[in-house]
Amino acid sequence: MPIRSQYDSVAAPTGDLWTFVFEQKEMNFPKNKPIYIDAQTRQQYTWAETKSAALSFGQGLIDQWDWRKQDVLGIFSPNCIDTPAVMFGTIWAGGIVSPFNPSGTVAELAFQLKDSGAKALVTQVALLDVAMKAAKLAGISEDRVILAGDCGALPGNINHFSSIRGNSQHFQYQRPVIDPRKGLALLVYSSGTTGYPKGVMLSHENVIMNLLQIQATDEDNLTPIGGVDGLGDKIVSVLPYYHVYGIAFLVNFPLYMGFTTIVMSKFSLKDFLQAIETFRPAYANLVPPIIVHLAKSPLVDEYDISSLKMVMCGAAPLTQELTEELYQRHGIPVRQVYGLSETSPVALVQAWNQCRESIGSVGGLVPNMAAKFCDENGKEIALGHTGELYLKGPNIFQGYLNNPSGTLDCLDKDGWFRTGDVGHVDAKGSFYITDRVKELIKYKGFQVPPAELEGLLLNHPQVMDAAVIGVMSEREATELPRAYIVLASDVGKTRLSEAALIEWLSERVAPHKRLRGGVEFISEIPKSPSGKILRRLLRDRANQTQQRTDEGVKARLQRGPSTPDETPVSRPPSPSVSRPPPSPSPHQHRYPNPGFLGSSSHSTIFSHVSSRANNSNNASLCEDPGQMPPSYSVGNLPSDKATTEKGIYALSQLELLKASKLKALVEVWLSKGVNLPLAGPFVTGCAQAVLDMVERSTSHNPQSGQSRTWVSERFDILLKNSLTPIVFRRDSSVADFVSQFYGDNVSWETLGIFFAAATRATLDLPFFPQLYSTEQERRKLISTLTRIGDCCLETCLGLDCLNDLQLILQYENFIIYSQVYGDQSYRSWRRMGDLASSLFALGYHENIDETPEVPNCVAQLRKAAFSRIYAADKSLAIFLGRPPRIIRTYCSFQLPSNIPGLWDTGSPTAPTAGGPPHHDIRRTDQINYIANTRWSAMCASIKEEILELFRDRDPHHQAENKSIIRSRAEEQWQTLPPHFKLMTSLKDCHLGPFERDFLAGARLDHLHILFLLCLVSLRHISEPDDSLLEVAVEMLSLVVETIVLRERLVSLYGLPAAGIISLALLNPSSGGKSIRPLQRSKMLQDLSVLVAEVRTGAFIQAGEPNFALFTRATQTIQILLNILMGGELGPKITEAEPTPLLPQQLPSDLPIDDWDPWINNDPWEFEIDFWANLAAHPSLQG
């Protein structure tokens, strides 16, 4: 006998959805109440504004597009507060709304547009390219593709939805009359086992009845009014609006009930938690992966989420253990809900007061519904027994669009819907879903049809047969699609790899359909006599190897990479085997490690030989065993005596210095708003990991001889961890990545980053009594920390297994050397060479975006590393007058994206940039180290072109190119966002130190470009012209303001500017026009400040980096100032006009006009020899 709902029945509506929502007779909330608030921009729609915007759009559809009853409007968009107005405007006009997954491909979207018969499509700017291509394939004209959301300047002839408005002055609009039982309101697509998405037809009555059913089960536990802000109980809205779950609970229900929703365009754990803390919602509709983060992520403890009274979880199964863990940790109960697109969507839900009594259950039937369980033949079984769930009620869909056979398979003549899910009901009426008859895979709430993937895989020329199943990942609390593949017997010369097949399929499907569960090659797909795949046998096979997917990164770390899709960081993964040679070497070369091998390398040449040999012998050649990574264990580690001594020294010093004090030093430094420019995301984690490592070993007594034993054991463990490749997949999270060098996985790279941060902190903080109180103590600590950092770096580099973290550590070590030993030090120059070598060996000069199976956070890290090293190479080469090592001609120029929250460890996967790569800086970009990295690299690229101009001997060609470069430089500066430009003097800029430094640096980088361009056309450097002098004056003036903030600006920009100004003052008429008195006074003032800062030791002292360079420069400038000011350097230099240096005051017997000692020097070089030559000027002698 069927089971009936325990709730009282609700009455069926007489009108359509528009009437039900917007023509309510009784409303218990004001019409001006905000319903949709954008969590990021704070823009909002009230109930009345939503109605007005929807009405205007609906009238516009009829007026401008001649919209007819039951015409379909497609929506291809992430969550947006405009979406409800678009949806209800379409419904007002009698249309049907069909939402599509915004991550879909052109082919997938085109299929659904054709199948639905959509007449128009609404999208957002970021998705416009895909939308236009799909619309064209579906026969939708360009003028019927419109935009929602914040579009800025509209591209081309594309209109915003708000421009589709009616003109009520011309005629009176008549709404089409809709039969709520038959007329469709929604057409949502639900993938099935046929391999094609099926259009689920939901009538107005289906949608309305489900709203009433949801309302009845909430039992007034939420209120739309009251509270501190008067908005009542708010709901945080993170579920996608294209999913029927999101439409029901986060679009329709709030509009009908008057609840304020906080709309998020996409999920990021940090942004989600911030929204809860900021807006204080009482309720959230979630899916299991988000519950996992709330229950397990340490990031949650940093935010106040106490406002949440309850969360609802649906779209996929949720374990009882996870439900209990969330409640025990945060006191938040979970209501589980069950439904499908075909049930509009809610069929079963836990009552508020019963969710703690029936944990693991999906609750009871909503009002007006009945259920029964049947055996495999469709015969009803007794209560309490397990069977397939059948449902009946007014919320059951109308059938599948254009698919009568699919409808007949699941919907009988009596209205019973066969769900395909297996479960049972207990004596209290609580339902439990235990399995699924349907073969559909559910990945994080997304539906993945195995047959669709199987059909695509069979199109691969090397695949004979394929089967796809879902394997459960406990770590991600979701199913992952896994493929079982039978290779064709005539595979040929190259065996298809797992990574290559995953990449091949990923290019053809939406992200949620990728083979995240991996690929396994087998000899035969198990099938029944009728040819049906026996997926049960494949699931049994998967259970035997469950550890591979369940334990994720942890298991892979313990055993090293064992499958091609687990990509070691040692170098970029190989390109797909489907790409013909020449290409980068597809093999991992690590023992020995020649690094990246390009198309001209011996490896690529011999790979052709191997391929031909394979073809001729019809057999595969074994891989050179010398290339295979050996297996290491403690006691069997590759380290020579020198490496061991360095490592032992570093660990011994760590004990003496006290890690806790060094960590405190780093924390104080970080609190100033500064960080390591490249390793910044890892500093805090590395510091804590090192401290934890030390504290775990504090039980030994250093006086008993155990300390040495601990140091030796820890040395071996660090060495082993450094030898363990860092592995990841494309969907690896930030936490997955960093966990491989935190905790028990602390390596020499971890230690090196910690010491790099401690060194920089000591350089920046003049006083830290826990470690040093005097300048002498500070310098001694700097020297010690620098040496320890060297030991850490050299220890891991000596292992011959280069990886991302080592490159980052090399860069930070180079920056430290430039600050400790000076930019002109050979040590710094040599380390720049090592950096370039490592960059090329890792292959990061190639196109990083083409590297498969790399998560976005790692890809952005590699781009940042390339950009930082590229820019540093140009700066050092120009400053020293030497050739740059990294030339753009041989590189794929790539900049990191400025993505907020990229390295938040709470994100399930790293945030993406959104849209194609861009080489400009957007108005929404934040001032941070990534912005600095991008701007520096952009300027460095132009500087490289200028350096090439210096070698161009054709004056006409040089002038033409100079003009082009100048125009591009000016355009680059003009397109820089206003908040990236210094609009006032630094003393009037009230931003923090880092922001001020950034603004000054950005301007100086641009001025340096103009400075170098002026030098190009200079006949003699000893005769600077007016344009060069003007740039030099602005540069020096800005440097003087920043002189106490950032030494780099002084050395790289201040000294060249001071040099040109000094030359101009020595030859006041050499450039054509004479120097104006006020300009001359300003020059002398800035030169005087520079000299005074150096001479008094306020800026630099003996023994500090670049001291010899600044001493030589200021000695020369001082002589010049003494002569120009009558032999006295007065403290109030601006109060009196300096005495001009007249030609007759110079010795008449010296050939001043012919004096040019730089004839054999590069004109951009302002190193120590420049100042020695300037001091030899005749007017400065005697």
Q: Which two tokens stand for residue 1132?
A: 């109030």
Report residue 1142: phi and psi, to 5°. Answer: -85, 150
Average pLDDT over residues 1002-1012: 89
Average pLDDT over residues 398-413: 92
pLDDT tens digits along 623-678? 333 333 444 444 445 556 777 888 888 888 887 888 889 999 999 898 888 899 99
Average pLDDT over residues 1094-1099: 61
pLDDT tens digits along 3-47? 999 999 999 888 999 999 999 888 989 999 999 999 999 999 999
Mean pLDDT, the chain, rounded, equals 80
The pLDDT-based confidence of 1000 (bands split at 50, 70, 90) is confident
206, 396 contact by CB (below 8 A): yes
Single out the residue of 1090, 1140, 1099, 1139 nearest to residue 1117, CA to CA: 1090
In 134-248, the DSSP E strands lie at 145-147, 159-160, 184-191, 197-203, 235-237
**pLDDT on residue 1052:** 56
Name residue, tokens 């403890």. Answer: 301
pLDDT tens digits along 891-921? 888 899 888 778 876 554 444 444 434 455 6
Range among 616-625, 682-691, 1159-1168 with highest mean pLDDT value: 682-691
* DSSP SS3 for 1125: coil
pLDDT tens digits along 293-337? 898 888 999 999 999 999 999 876 676 777 888 999 999 999 999
Q: Which two tokens stand for residue 964?
A: 């082009």
Provide the b/e sequence for 687-721 (b: ≥16 CB within 10 Å): bebbbebbeebeeeeeeeeebeebbeebbbbbbbb
542, 559 contact by CB (below 8 A): no
C-alpha dist (Å) from residue 200 to 90, 116, 213: 18, 10, 20
- Residue 655 makes CB contacts below 8 A (sequence gap 6+) with 694, 702, 707, 711
**Diameter of the chain measured on Cα atoms:** 122
pTM: 0.49
The yes-or-no verdict on residue 1117 having pLDDT over 70 is yes
The yes-or-no verdict on residue 554 having pLDDT over 50 is no
Name residue, tokens 């030093």. Answer: 665
The CB-side HSE value for 390 (13 A sphere, CA atoms) comes to: 23
Better-predicted residue by pLDDT, 1018 or 124: 124
796, 722 contact by CB (below 8 A): yes
The yes-or-no verdict on residue 558 having pLDDT over 60 is no
- Residue 1148 makes CB contacts below 8 A (sequence gap 6+) with none
**pLDDT on residue 582:** 29
Second-level CATH architecture of 455-550: 2-Layer Sandwich (3.30)
**pLDDT on residue 1137:** 36
Q: Cα separation of 175 and 777, whole Å?
A: 83
The yes-or-no verdict on residue 820 having pLDDT over 90 is no
Q: Is 1044 exposed, middle or buried (0-12, 13-18, 19+ CB in 10 A)?
A: exposed
Range among 277-286, 354-363, 578-587, 1044-1053 with highest mean pLDDT value: 277-286
Would the CATH topology of 46-178 be identical to that of 455-550? no
Better-predicted residue by pLDDT, 943 or 1167: 943
The yes-or-no verdict on residue 550 having pLDDT over 60 is no
Q: How far apart are the first and last CA of the chain?
A: 116
Q: Cα separation of 101 and 77, whole Å?
A: 7
pLDDT tens digits along 63-101? 999 999 999 999 999 999 999 999 999 999 999 999 999
Average pLDDT over residues 388-396: 96
Handedness of CA 896, 900, 902, 903 (dihedral sign): positive
**pLDDT on residue 578:** 32
Better-predicted residue by pLDDT, 766 or 202: 202
Domain boundaries, the chain: 46-178, 455-550, 641-918, 946-1180
**pLDDT on residue 1025:** 80
**pLDDT on residue 748:** 93
Second-level CATH architecture of 46-178: 3-Layer(aba) Sandwich (3.40)
Q: Cα separation of 184 and 187, whole Å?
A: 7
| DSSP-assigned beta bridge partners for residue 475 | none
